[in-house]
């Protein structure tokens, strides 16, 4: 009996914090999402129903955010995973400078997204004084200058994707490099004895052996990209709706706070829609990986 109490005592701080800041909010978000016309100031509402979902799903800002997020996901997840695989393969085939490259590649992981986003902004943005480095490069190859920060939609989307990939690469390279390093050397030796061509070694040995890690990266990549937000703020500023570059998570926060805020019910409905999308995609991913991955 005394022991029972002691165990709970040690757990108490964790349980209290989780209860207040995770379990209760988790229940509350469902309640918020069905309270119609909730007023933050008076904490009152006048009905229960699905109006909030209806509103959110018709809100042009939300639809724009969904579109932006989907494009971002579809472009960055395959590109970053593929590029990370190429780089990791390159890394694991060299000895000299391997450590140096690995250290450099990891740098974006420890940098502040908001701060380094400013550097990307000045590289891509033409100003009154200069076209900006990227545009000068484009001009050099005979192209016309584009305002990547306040200009056409595809240009802004390009920078956003580029920056997102730059940010997520360290994690993927790290995971794939350690996966490659853990493949049993004996397989390669046998292949060498049999004089197996290198692309066959790759598709028949390497790829199957690291496929669980690739699927892991694809799944976490999808989840991460669906929650994109601070990279967009870093590039386009806090008013993402005006820039037309809002993301789903950005929409949730805008509904909560700031000039457009004060609507926790709409925010909750949007967050639940996002959660439903992510859950569906993760489930599909898991089913596909169960079928194809070699464990």
Sites for other proteins among residues 178-237 (CB under 8 A): 178, 220, 223-224, 227, 229-230, 233, 237
Contact predicate 254/65, CB 8 Å = no
Contact predicate 294/209, CB 8 Å = yes
Residues 6+ apart with CB under 8 A from 36: 45, 46, 47, 48, 49, 51, 52, 265
Q: Nearest Cα to 233, choosing from 127, 155, 138, 118?
A: 118
- Asked if 130 is part of the footprint of other proteins (rule: CB under 8 A), the reply reads yes
- Asked if 158 is part of the footprint of other proteins (rule: CB under 8 A), the reply reads no
The 3-state DSSP class for residue 48 equals: strand
The 3-state DSSP class for residue 145 equals: coil
Measured from the CB atom, is 154 or 275 closer to other proteins?
A: 275
CB of 184 to other proteins, least distance (A): 19
CB of 8 to other proteins, least distance (A): 6
CB of 216 to other proteins, least distance (A): 10
- Asked if 3 is part of the footprint of other proteins (rule: CB under 8 A), the reply reads yes
Footprint of other proteins on residues 20-79 (CB under 8 A)? 20-26, 28-29, 32, 40
Contact predicate 73/225, CB 8 Å = yes
Stated as kind and residue range, the H or E segment containing 47 is strand 47-48
CB of 17 to other proteins, least distance (A): 4
Footprint of other proteins on residues 88-127 (CB under 8 A)? 90-91, 93-94, 97, 101-116, 118-120, 122-123, 127
- Asked if 167 is part of the footprint of other proteins (rule: CB under 8 A), the reply reads yes
């Amino acid at each position: 009996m005394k022991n029972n109490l002691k165990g709970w005592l040690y757990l108490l701080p964790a349980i209290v914090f989780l209860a207040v800041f995770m379990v209760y909010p988790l229940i509350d978000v469902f309640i918020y999402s069905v309270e119609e016309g909730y007023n933050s100031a008076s904490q009152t509402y006048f009905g229960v129903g699905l109006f909030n979902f209806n509103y959110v799903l018709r809100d042009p800002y939300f639809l724009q955010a969904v579109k932006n997020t989907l494009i971002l996901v579809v472009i960055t997840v395959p590109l970053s995973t593929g590029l990370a695989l190429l780089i990791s393969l390159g890394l694991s085939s060299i000895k000299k400078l391997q450590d140096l490259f690995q250290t450099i590649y990891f740098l974006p992981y420890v940098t502040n997204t908001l701060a380094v986003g400013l550097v990307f902004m000045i590289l891509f943005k033409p100003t009154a004084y200069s076209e900006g480095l990227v545009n000068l490069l484009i001009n050099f190859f005979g192209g016309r200058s584009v305002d990547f920060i306040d200009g056409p939609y595809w240009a802004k989307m390009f920078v956003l994707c580029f920056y997102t990939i730059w940010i997520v690469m360290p994690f993927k390279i790290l995971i794939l490099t350690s996966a490659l390093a853990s493949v049993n050397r004996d397989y390669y030796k046998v292949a060498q004895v049999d004089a197996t061509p290198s692309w066959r070694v790759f598709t028949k040995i390497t790829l199957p052996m690291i496929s669980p890690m690739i699927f892991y990266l694809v799944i976490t990549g999808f989840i991460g990209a669906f929650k994109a937000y601070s990279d967009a703020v870093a590039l386009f500023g806090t008013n993402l709706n005006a820039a037309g570059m809002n993301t789903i998570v950005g929409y949730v926060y805008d509904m909560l706070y700031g000039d457009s805020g004060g609507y926790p019910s709409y925010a909750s409905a949007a967050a639940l829609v996002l959660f439903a999308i992510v859950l569906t995609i993760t489930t599909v991913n898991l089913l596909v990986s169960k079928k194809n991955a070699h464990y």
